[in-house]
Amino acid sequence: MALSYEYSIGSVRAREKSLLTGVDLEQLLACKSESEFCALLGDKGYGEGETVDEKLEAHTQAMWKYLKDVAPDFSLFDVFLIQNDNHNLKVVIKGSLSARKYRHLLMTPATLDPELLVKAVESRGFSLLPEWIAVNADKAYVALAHTGDARLSDAYLDRATTEEMLRLSKQWRSSFLEEYIKTTVFYNNVKTAIRSARSNANRHYVKRALFEVEGFDKPAVTAAVLKGEDSTLELLSKCRAYGCGEAIEEYKKSPSAFERWVDNRLTGLAKAACKRASEGAQPLLGYYLGCEIEKKAIHIIASGIRTKTDTDTIRERMREIYG
């Protein structure tokens, strides 16, 4: 019998109770060693694995299995999973051209079978791939094979993936999902613009690395990037779309403060739209994003413990969580 959203929402609401809370994070922050941290993670539901990374990987795979079991239409998550396709294709192209082992770097789940990617790259038969990625996959291969420019090669694949993410987000007719993806793309643009300005990237690269998205003046930003970082930050600080001006003020404090601000804005969107939704796909999306946000928090704390960073500094780096 086909699953209904009514059933999936009830299941997700019960499942959300297992997400970490602020109190849980404070307990994890109090750990003095990675082994203590790992043991406490196990107590909080991250059971499988001997290390933090192993526990996170097992927990992620369990999350995906659950969502496949409960979602009426699992293609809802394609808008996120194609980012794994993008990663995998980059890995296969670079691994094949460098004759290095790469299969251990492939990510799952994804919408495209990794073996299909391997076949397409090794045979230069990119027509085997879906239309949204095929042409730019060939361009990415040529860019890396002929010029060795990995950044330009990545830009071609990022463009195809971003355009498909925007298309898929509209296809679901979810105002939340569309806003979430547009915000994500907007700030990916901002990050790319700042990095490009700092590294003196040329026009050819910048035009391919920046995307068309509502609220982002690509021609103006491109011109500013070519003038340098100061011009780029000045222009972006005047942009009001998605709170960009406020985000740039955080960047001026530190790049990590900027990253935290962007993550918190995305989390805020998810909490506002998904936590109390009583119909449709938004509760499922919220649970997925909640798990991803939680995973990032665990990485931040684990990294701090490994580097013996003081607790207050780690706490400053923490993001708002969904649970």
- For the stretch 198-219, pLDDT in tens is 999 999 999 999 999 999 999 9
What share of the chain has pLDDT > 70, as a percent? 99
Give the Cα separation of 208 and 185 in Å (integer): 14
Q: Are 252 and 143 in contact (CB under 8 A)?
A: no
What pLDDT shows up at residue 4? 87
- Residue 237 reports pLDDT greater than 80: yes
Give the Cα separation of 318 and 296 in Å (integer): 9
Q: What are the sequence ranges of the domains in the chain? A: 76-172, 174-280
Task: Summarize pLDDT for 261-279 with one digit per residue, the tens.
Answer: 999 999 999 999 999 899 8
Question: Per-residue DSSP letters for 49-112?
Answer: -SSHHHHHHHHHHHHHHHHHHH-S-GGGGHHHHHHHHHHHHHHHHHHHHHT---GGG--SS-SS
Residue located via tokens 């970082």: 229
Joined together, the tokens standing for residue 81 give 């999973």
Spell out the residues 6+ positions from residue 90 whose beta carbon is closer than 8 angstroms to its own.
140, 153, 154, 157
**281 secondary structure, DSSP code:** S
Give the Cα separation of 168 and 265 in Å (integer): 21
* Range 19-34 average pLDDT: 95
Give the Cα separation of 316 and 205 in Å (integer): 35
Joined together, the tokens standing for residue 321 give 């969580």
Spell out the residues 6+ positions from residue 321 whose beta carbon is closer than 8 angstroms to its own.
19, 20, 21, 22, 25, 267, 290, 293, 294, 297
pLDDT band, residue 2 (cuts 50/70/90): low
Joined together, the tokens standing for residue 278 give 């009583």
- Tell me which of 297 and 48 has the higher pLDDT: 297
What share of the chain has pLDDT > 90, as a percent? 95
What pLDDT shows up at residue 1? 46
What pLDDT shows up at residue 173? 85
* Range 221-232 average pLDDT: 98
Task: Summarize pLDDT for 135-163 with one digit per residue, the tens.
Answer: 999 999 999 999 999 999 999 999 999 99
Task: Summarize pLDDT for 98-129 with one digit per residue, the tens.
Answer: 999 999 999 999 999 999 999 999 999 999 99
What pLDDT shows up at residue 91? 98
What pLDDT shows up at residue 3? 78
- The CATH superfamily holding the domain 76-172 is V-type ATP synthase subunit C domain (1.20.1690.10)
Q: Are 200 and 206 in contact (CB under 8 A)?
A: no
pLDDT band, residue 296 (cuts 50/70/90): very high
What pLDDT shows up at residue 139? 96
Return the biggest CA–CA distance within the chain. Answer: 60
Does the pTM surpass 0.85? The reply is yes
Q: Are 197 and 232 in contact (CB under 8 A)?
A: yes
* Range 6-24 average pLDDT: 94
